[in-house]
Amino acid sequence: SELNSFLWTIKRDPPSYFFGTIHVPYTRVWDFIPENSKKAFQQSHIVYFELDLTDPYTISALTSCQLLPQGENLQDVLPHDIYCRLKRHLEYVKLMMPSWMTPDQRGKGLYADYLFNAIAGNWERKRPVWVMLMVNSLTEVDIKSRGVPVLDLYLAQEAERLRKQTGAVEKVEEQCHPLNGLNFSQV
């Protein structure tokens, strides 16, 4: 109850709330989310998220926006030494992934090759900023939590299950264009 809940209340009737989320598996943070935030979610009839992660179009558009222009590959835009280090690192991750996976993940039918391809598939066609974000998520801790939805997705799934009206405050393009606009030195 002493924790900052990142919950802001707009005093009106009925009240409105803003809740700051974080893109990590919800199991890492759920026990630390104060009851006032959980209660606000339960009492809400309409819930808006950053993006609608339950919409197949959103996922497809996010995937598309990460790609380099047609005909370009990462090898064409990265310095040769960085590209080679990246390729070696991804080979290492692919080799290590089976040992990073949990028995629970295996019990759910997740295979290391499938998981690697789901995360890193088509990496040679992605823009450097998205490859950087991908590489940052290819750690043992992150792999062990794959299959657990991030907090936003968990709340969206809960909202659907509870038949709440949902929406999004951003479009994919509003997230993609600023990231894709970063120059190489910024990335």
Segment 122-163, tens digit of pLDDT: 999 999 999 999 999 899 988 998 888 889 999 999 999 999
Task: Count how many domains the chain has.
Answer: 1
* Dist. CA 92–CA 17, nearest whole Å: 44
Predicted pLDDT at 117: 92
Would residue 73 count as lying in a domain?
Answer: yes
Would residue 30 count as lying in a domain?
Answer: yes
Would residue 37 count as lying in a domain?
Answer: yes
Rounded to the nearest integer, the mean pLDDT of the chain is 90
What the block records as the tokens of 45 is 């009839």
pTM of the model: 0.79
Would residue 1 count as lying in a domain?
Answer: no
* Dist. CA 84–CA 61, nearest whole Å: 29
Would residue 2 count as lying in a domain?
Answer: no
Would residue 186 count as lying in a domain?
Answer: no
Domain boundaries, position 86: 7-181
Nearest partner of 64 among 14, 127, 19, judged by Cα:
127
What is the percent of the chain with per-residue pLDDT over 90, rounded to a whole number? 58
* Dist. CA 164–CA 157, nearest whole Å: 10
